[in-house]
Amino acid sequence: MVDDTAPKRCVKFLTKKRKIQYQLEIEATAAESQAEISMIPKDVAQNIAKMARSGKVTSKRIKELEAKSDHDTAALVEALSELCKPSAKPWVHYGLTSNDLVDTSNSMQVRDSFKIIEPKVAKLAIILAKLAIKFKATPAVGRTHGQHASIIAFGLKFANWASEMSNHVDRIEECKKRILICKTLGVVGTGSLMGSKALEVQKRIAKKLFLYPADVTTQIIAREKYAEYVFCNALIGATLEKIAVEIRNLQRTEIGEVAEPFKKGQMGSSAVPVKRNPTKSERVTSLSKILRSQISIAFENIPLWHERDLSNSANERFTIPTSSILLDEMLEAMTKIISDLYVNTERIRKNTEMTKGQIFAEFVLDALIKKGVPRLIAYRDIQRVAFAASDTETQFLDAVKKDTAISAHLNTKEIEAIFVPENHLGAADKIINNVYKKVLRTCSEFT
């Protein structure tokens, strides 16, 4: 379950009570903006704004009125009107329609959710980048198809993840102007009652709410914008799941290169006392599946009838907050995992020796090619020696030294130098340093 009592969590912006506060703030800001250009009297706007922000419009009263009208937004407007002075009542919600409140309040929810999510994405990117630097000179097994392939720097794993988390910060920044939209253009998007001043009113409201004014709408904001938000969340979640899956694999008994933090008194299994299960990473994987499932719903909401229908409305009350809350929870979990991740450097070293030196086959091939041996001939010789060494459980280094086809081109000193893992980290140092600089450049301002 999500801990909704924790500080700085998205869930606090996604409650019914907060939604009402957002919508009342829109009503207040709309009245003030209209008064600024003499669309409605200033004293009227002041009264509407004062009552909207008074805290006296309660969810209880809205619910009572909704029971009669069967319309939640109309009930909110009526509850606000009840508190306003007689001269102000006609001007409450002037020129607006229900979805001006619904969609703009959605944008306010997303705006404030980004304030929580973006720093957490940036923080995780920086933590990962620092681990990349820490382990950039640690040779490790690089695996493809689940098989030992070649030597990598262990820090390269963290650098890959750090780079993508940094890219997600860029994505959030880029998508804000498309997603955080203020819409106050009335029933079918023409601003009909406010006339030629409708766009100026919307511009002023948007600025006050730290949103972007809509360029064009029907009665609603185009649902491509919400689909992008849900997709953006799911994409970040997929990266977190990618990290979680790798941690789970590296924590397998047979590999044992990393382990999730395991606190004193923690139980890994109710039946097997010695187990330390990667349950936190498994939780991230599990939540990512739910998060991704929201994408298809959000995309189904894009095609609606004419200027709008209600086939999107009910499910959006789930998809927008659910995707935000799930991602927030996943970020919290993964940050805790990575911050205290146990890295077993001794096991990493031993795993490079597991194939008795055959992990260096790529570099033997390269050495022979550089001596002028045709690639296919060198490939076949190395494959022959390696397979025979496996059958006899012989060290590949010894088998290479003894093979006349290979040793005819490489002397003992040259062969032995090939079997030093630190000699094969390639450009990893530069790659990791570049990623580290990029992450700090992109993410530091958000943490």
Average pLDDT over residues 90-95: 97
In a domain, residue 174? The reply is: yes
The gap between the terminal CA atoms of the chain, to the nearest Å, is 26
Q: How confident is the model at residue 304 (pLDDT cuts 50, 70, 90)?
A: very high
Task: Check whether 288 has a pLDDT greater than 90.
Answer: yes
Among residues 44, 66, 94, which one ends one of the domains?
Answer: 94
In a domain, residue 130? The reply is: yes
Average pLDDT over residues 88-103: 97
pLDDT tens digits for range 29-69 = 999 999 999 999 999 999 999 999 999 999 999 999 999 99
pLDDT tens digits for range 402-430 = 999 999 999 999 999 999 999 999 999 99
Residues 333 and 396 in one domain: no
Task: Check whether 1 has a pLDDT greater than 60.
Answer: no
Active site residue 269: yes
pLDDT value at residue 6: 47
Enclosing domain of residue 42: 9-94
For 259, phi then psi, to 5°, come to: -150, 140
Task: Check whether 4 has a pLDDT greater than 50.
Answer: no
pLDDT value at residue 61: 97
Q: Return the number of other C-beta atoms located less than 10 Å from residue 249's C-beta.
A: 16
pLDDT tens digits for range 321-338 = 999 999 999 999 999 999
Residues 412 and 303 in one domain: no
> Cα 98 from chain centroid?
31
Measuring CA to CA, which residue among 176, 184, 212 is closest to residue 26?
A: 184
Work out whether strand 258-259 and strand 342-343 pair parallel, antiparallel, or are unpaired.
antiparallel
In a domain, residue 217? The reply is: yes
Task: Check whether 365 has a pLDDT greater than 80.
Answer: yes
pLDDT tens digits for range 145-199 = 999 999 999 999 999 999 999 999 999 999 999 999 999 999 999 999 999 999 9
Residues 167 and 76 in one domain: no
Residues 364 and 345 in one domain: no
251, 422, 401, 356: CA torsion to nearest 10? -10
pLDDT value at residue 274: 67
pLDDT value at residue 3: 47
Residues 232 and 362 in one domain: no
Among residues 94, 122, 157, which one ends one of the domains?
Answer: 94
Average pLDDT over residues 230-237: 98
In a domain, residue 269? The reply is: no
Q: How many domains does the chain have?
A: 3
Residues 384 and 327 in one domain: no
Q: How confident is the model at residue 2 (pLDDT cuts 50, 70, 90)?
A: very low
CA angle 427, 429, 433 (to 5 degrees): 120
Residue whose structure tokens are 């280094």: 397
Catalytic residue among 69, 192, 269, 296: 269
The predicted model scores a pTM of 0.92
Q: How confident is the model at residue 277 (pLDDT cuts 50, 70, 90)?
A: confident
pLDDT, averaged across the chain: 94
pLDDT value at residue 447: 85
Active site residue 148: no
Catalytic residue among 145, 196, 270, 306: 145
pLDDT value at residue 269: 64
In a domain, residue 53? The reply is: yes
Q: What is the CATH number of the domain that holds 391?
A: 1.10.40.30
In a domain, residue 2? The reply is: no
Task: Check whether 235 has a pLDDT greater than 90.
Answer: yes
Separation CA 209–CA 365 (nearest Å): 63
Q: What is the CATH number of the domain that holds 120?
A: 1.20.200.10
Residues 392 and 438 in one domain: no
Contacts of 277-282 with CB under 8 Å at 24 or more apart are 278/244, 278/247, 278/248, 278/251, 280/333, 280/336, 280/337, 281/243, 281/244, 281/245, 281/247, 281/248, 281/251, 281/334, 281/337, 282/244, 282/248
Residues 243 and 282 in one domain: yes
332-354 CB burial, b ≥16 within 10 A, e <16: bbbbebbeebebbeeebbebbee
Helix (H, G, I), strand (E, B) or coil at 40: coil
Radius of gyration of the chain (CA): 30
Residues 130 and 228 in one domain: yes
Task: Check whether 275 has a pLDDT greater than 80.
Answer: no
Residues 88 and 102 in one domain: no
In a domain, residue 152? The reply is: yes
